[in-house]
Amino acid sequence: MKQKLKAALLLGALLGLGFNAPMSAATTKNTEQSASKKTAAKGAKKAPVAAKSPNRSVRTAAGKALPSKKIAASRESTAAHAKATPSRKAVRHVAMTDMDAGRLALYSASALVIDQNSGQTIIEKQADLVVPIASISKLMTAMVVLDAKLDLQEVISIGDEDVDGLKGTRSRLPVGTTMTRETAMLLALMSSENRAAHALGRHYPGGMPAFVQAMNRKAQALGMVNSSFEEPTGLSSNNVSTAHDLARMVAAAARYPEIRHYSTTAEAKLELNGRIRDFGNTNALVRSDNWEIGISKTGYISEAGRCLVMQARVADKPVVIVLLDSNGKMTRVGDANRIKRWMESAGLGSVQTRRSA
C-alpha cells in the first residue's frame, strides 16, 4: 500500500514539472522580448547624435536638421531640377556708361575728350586747370597767319631774332635760311620748328607785337576765356590755357585745310640752303594705320610737360582729344591709345560724361 502511495506522489511530481516547463519558456521569451524593446528604445534616444555627421544631415536656412532620407530626396530633387533647367551664362553687354574712365589710369595731368557731333564730354580730367601749353600754341600761330590771308608763297628768312634765347633749344634752320611762308608753316606744325614759327610772327604786318595781339583776339573770339599768348612758339610758360579752351582751338583749327594737311604730314623732304633735308612729324601716331587723325600737334617745355592735342575719328565718331602735362616721353601717346581702346571696347550707344580721378 505504501509503495502505491509513493508511486502516486512521484508521478504527480513528474507531471508538475512537465506543466511548469512551457510556462518557464514563455516567461523567458517574454523577458527577452522586453529586454530587446528596451534596448531599441535606448538606441532610438541616442539616434540624434548620429545627425552630427555632415553626410547624414544638412541644415536648412532656418537652422533645422533634415533627416538623412529627406536629404537624399532633396538632393535627388535638386539634381532633377538642374537637369530640367538649362544652365544660363551671364552675358554682360558693355556700354560706355558701364565703364569707368578712372580705370584708364591716364597719366596726363589734364585730359579731355569731346564728341564733335554732339559737343558732349566723353572723358574729363582737370580740364579747367590753367597750365602752360608749349608748342600747342603753334596751332594759334597758323590760324592767325591764315586769317590774315598772307601770301603763302612769299619768301621769308630766319634771322637772329628767331633764335631761342629763352630755353636755348636747337634748330635745324640756321640763321639766314630762306623759305616760303608755306614751308615755314609746314615745319612749325609738322616738326614743331620754333624758328619757323617765330619767323611767321615776325613777318606779320606790324611785327611781333601785332601778331601777339592777333593771337589773343582770336582766342577771345573762340571763347578761350582762360587762355593767354605771349609769343608764337610756346617756349614761354606764359602761353597758358585749359583743356576746355584748347578743345575749342583744335576744333577751330580743324576747319583750315592747310592746318589739317601740314599738321598730319608724316614726313617731308625739303630743299633748304641748297641741301635736301628730311623732316618728320613729332607725333608718331600720324604714321599709325590704327589712327585716323585730322589734326595733330605736340608740345613740350619743362613747365608744361608732354602735351598732345588731336582731332581724330575714334569708334566711328569725330572727337577732339586734349592731353596736357604728361610725365614720360611716351605717356601722351600711351594715354591716347588707352582712350582709343576704351572707346572702341565700350561702344558709343549711350555716352555720358566720365570723370577720371
* Residues marked as catalytic: 135, 138, 192
Number of domains making up the chain: 1
In a domain, 152, yes or no: yes
Which domain, by its residues, includes 174?
A: 96-355
In a domain, 159, yes or no: yes
Torsion of CA 41, 46, 48, 52, to 10 degrees: -160
Question: What is the band of 102 on the pLDDT scale with cuts at 50, 70, 90?
Answer: low
Percent of the chain, pLDDT > 70?
Answer: 68
Q: Find the CATH number of the domain harbouring 298.
A: 3.40.710.10
The pLDDT of residue 82: 42
C-alpha cell at 319: 572727337
In a domain, 67, yes or no: no
The predicted model gives 264-274 an average pLDDT of 95
pLDDT digits (tens, 9 = 90+) for 181-231: 999 999 999 999 999 999 999 999 999 999 999 999 999 999 999 999 999
Q: Which residues does 313 contact at the CB level (< 8 Å), separation at least 6? A: 292, 294, 319
- The region of weakest confidence among 59-63, 272-276, 280-284, 288-292 is 59-63
In a domain, 311, yes or no: yes
In a domain, 252, yes or no: yes
The pLDDT of residue 347: 65
- Highest mean pLDDT among 37-46, 236-245, 321-330 belongs to 236-245
The predicted model gives 282-306 an average pLDDT of 97
- The region of weakest confidence among 1-15, 54-68, 135-149 is 54-68
- Among residues 267, 262, 285, the alpha carbon closest in space to that of 277 is found at 267
Question: What is the band of 83 on the pLDDT scale with cuts at 50, 70, 90?
Answer: very low
Q: At residue 25, does pLDDT exceed 50?
A: no
